[in-house]
Structure 1
Amino acid sequence: MPSRPLPLPKSLAGYPQSAHFSDGRFHNARPRPTTGLWKGLKLLLTMLFTKPADTVPADPIPVKAITRAQLEAAPDRSLFRLGHSTVLIKWKERYWLTDPLFSKRASPVQWAGPARFHAPPISIEELPPIAGVILSHNHYDHLDRAAVLALAAKTDVFIAPLGVGDQLNAWGVAPSRIEQLDWWQSTSVHGLEFTSTPAQHFSGRGLRDSDQSLWCSWVIQDQTMRLFFSGDSGYFDGFKTIGDRLGPFDLTLMETGAYDPRWAFVHMQPEQTLQAHIDLRGRWLLPIHNGTFDLAMHAWQEPFKRITALATLKGIDITTPMMGERIDMLAPPAMQAWWNGQPARTG
């Protein structure tokens, strides 16, 4: 059974209580392949100078704006996709946010780096009080410092993997409002149970903090519904373990985007996303980590096209809400190809 969350350590010296921490770093169950200096430099140059033009939409993508009144009127168990891996959930008559990213760029600076394809459907200022912010890891496209600081005044608790909680504390979030968990640990907040589950990824926000905080996926459940949030992960046998231990799931929010064969260990190809959903014993699949930033070499619409074609072929129920659109988590609408007819940039 999952265990209770660990307290915040007194320093960032280490996490000896975690079985996944050694030699000053957290580790995947299976070691991550080394890239090497030359391969890493070559990949960086490719990303900077030879990106295809169609990785970015030519025009703004369609977004349904959300108002505070619409959120308050929405029925319980409503979900709104805000962009990338940011999802707003109304559950137990409270509001929950995953990996909130509201800044213009997924970058350490706001004058350079991947820029949004679309504005958030609602601003942080317009959001109602947030019961919990659920964080998967500390990469810039998942942990937005400006968003954390803006949300701190209206959020009851930040739920994070080990080390990420310490980062929040260093930014000024009080320890009493942080729960940081190791893999397979659980905590209960306002009637929901949150379990940190394994992922195959990495962490770091600079040149000197590689893998010094943990990464994870999340299982969120009450007595009648179970939700899986993948965070970022390569495909691994941990999905089946999670499905066997904590599934089945009514809805899986699964990373499907920013993939490439060269970094398949840490980001799934669409075929692997679908298999992970099957391993988890998911019912409905909602692809995330797409449609907001240019973080790979594929066309911006490709993740939607590939995963929906695969799901249709396998008879998997898939829902693809437009940014800002409300869905019922237990009875979401079937796939709608809102990305069709949206042109890509051609030069």
Structure 2
Amino acid sequence: MRTLLATLILGITAIMTYCSLASAAVPAHAQSPQFADGKFRNAIKMREYSFGEMVGLWWNAMINKPAGTMPAQAIPVRALSRADLLAAPDKSLFRLGHSTILFKLGGAFYLTDPVFSERASPVGWAGPKRFHAPPVSIEELPPIQAVILSHDHYDHLDHAAIMQLAAKTSHFLAPLGVGDRLVQWGVEASKVRQFDWWEEATIDGVRFIATPSQHFSGRTLGDRDTTLWASWVILHDELRLFFSGDSGYFKGFKEIGERFGPFDVAMVETGAYDKQWPEVHMQPEETLQAFLDLKGKWLLPVHNGTFDLALHRWQDPLERISALASTSDVKLTTPEMGEPLDLTAPHAGKPWWRELE
């Protein structure tokens, strides 16, 4: 069995290597302060893992999984139709899974990190599989004013979803290099806008600022850090929102909070963490501190409940952040997938994960 699994891993690696060699290189953005020696970089020097350490991390993540990293029962999902979304009040939010979030602002719809495929993987027959179907299909979505992307990892940038969304989306907002990928895939260049940290754009009265995060990028074995990663500040009327994308804990959260806080709702990564990769994903205690740094009013934990991407029990991110929020007097909202959330008056939701094994 282990030989078969090892062969499978090697097969996926070979496919990823082939894709790396066969695809066009993402153009460099040498003008960016984040770009040096052909790569984007974080404000701090990241640890470089040896080949043996990388193999060990992949082996543990794919082979030596502890029990409970996937739910034994169906995740609760509230199905949505186009009519439901069109009838929803303005300033509504719908969590569609993982880090995919739909907003209604000024009568238009905005979508973060759209992943609708069954697997977060370069191939359809292997890799992390969804715990649940999306609450709404891409076909049922109303026209999208803008898709907002945080980085190019498979659990945040879904090629099939982007290609389906291209015809019904007016704008794609992406960190440097990620937009080049979209154009290479066939998205109209006129629809794509790329941003360095602290750069911004306003679309129909909604202001988007690409802000720093501490992470990395890449979709193959040969393109690590050739595109940038970012978090996003979203401002509309008096409403202030923050979307973290993926990030380890870093001092940038405090700077973002000082520049743009306080945030009415902060959507902060809470999941897929492990002590083996502390620089690029946050433990729940760090998520809480990031939220406090951001001067948030309501915390919406994301990056959980959809894919098995780490070694913790699938409920742990929500359970741990719930306990921390309770003892820290932090307002936490945990809507079910597809459940509407009023951004002007959020509700706490219920601990739906406790009803499942």
TM-score bin (small chain): over 0.9
1:79 to 88, 93, 100: 93
Partner deviation per Cα, 1:217-268 (whole Å, 9 max, x = no partner): 0000023111000000000000000001111111000000000011110000
What residue in structure 2 maps to residue 327 of structure 1? 341
- 1:147-166 matches, within 5 Å, as 147-166=161-180
Cα offset for 1:46? 1.2
Cα offset for 1:13? 4.0
Closer, same or farther in 2 for the Cα pair 1:57/1:25, shift >3 Å? same
- 1:251-262 matches, within 5 Å, as 251-262=265-276
Native 8 Å contact 1:130 1:154 kept in 2: yes
Native 8 Å contact 2:26 2:227 kept in 1: no
Native 8 Å contact 2:27 2:177 kept in 1: no
Amino acid at match of 2:250: F
Residues in 2 aligned to 1:126 and 1:156: alpha-carbon distance in whole angstroms: 17
Native 8 Å contact 2:336 2:349 kept in 1: no
What residue in structure 1 maps to residue 54 of structure 2? 40
TM-score by length of 1: 0.95
Helix, strand or coil at the partner of 1:97 = strand
Closer, same or farther in 2 for the Cα pair 1:298/1:12, shift >3 Å? closer
TM-score by length of 2: 0.92
What residue in structure 2 maps to residue 213 of structure 1? 227
Native 8 Å contact 2:26 2:181 kept in 1: no
Amino acid at match of 1:210: R
Which consecutive unaligned segments of at least 5 residues does structure 1 have? 1-10
Partner deviation per Cα, 1:158-206 (whole Å, 9 max, x = no partner): 0000000000000111111011100000011111010000000000000
Closer, same or farther in 2 for the Cα pair 1:12/1:45, shift >3 Å? closer
Amino acid at match of 2:286: Q
What residue in structure 2 maps to residue 193 of structure 1? 207
- 1:236-275 matches, within 5 Å, as 236-275=250-289
Could you tell me the percent identity over the aligned residues?
58
Helix, strand or coil at the partner of 1:261 = coil
Amino acid at match of 1:99: D
Within the alignment, does 1:296 sit opposite 2:313 as a pair? no
Residues in 1 aligned to 2:255 and 2:89: alpha-carbon distance in whole angstroms: 33
Residues in 2 aligned to 1:148 and 1:233: alpha-carbon distance in whole angstroms: 23
What residue in structure 1 maps to residue 36 of structure 2? 22
1:282 to 296, 319, 328: 296
Within the alignment, does 1:145 sit opposite 2:159 as a pair? yes
Give RMSD over aligned pairs. Answer: 0.9
What residue in structure 2 maps to residue 3 of structure 1? none
Residues in 1 aligned to 2:88 and 2:99: alpha-carbon distance in whole angstroms: 21
Cα offset for 1:53? 2.2
Task: Indicate the larger mover: 38-47 or 295-304.
Answer: 38-47
Residues in 1 aligned to 2:86 and 2:26: alpha-carbon distance in whole angstroms: 40
Native 8 Å contact 2:175 2:230 kept in 1: yes
Native 8 Å contact 1:308 1:335 kept in 2: no
1:59 to 73, 78, 88: 73
What residue in structure 2 maps to residue 135 of structure 1? 149
Within the alignment, does 1:180 sit opposite 2:190 as a pair? no
Amino acid at match of 1:323: M
Residues in 2 aligned to 1:239 and 1:268: alpha-carbon distance in whole angstroms: 12
Helix, strand or coil at the partner of 1:263 = coil
Task: Indicate the larger mover: 47-56 or 101-110.
Answer: 47-56
2:237 to 223, 248, 255: 223
Q: Which runs of 4+ in 1 moved over 2 A?
A: none
Bigger share in helix: 2
Task: Indicate the larger mover: 314-323 or 219-228.
Answer: 219-228
Residues in 1 aligned to 2:327 and 2:67: alpha-carbon distance in whole angstroms: 29
1:232 to 246, 261, 271: 246
Residue-pair matches, total: 333
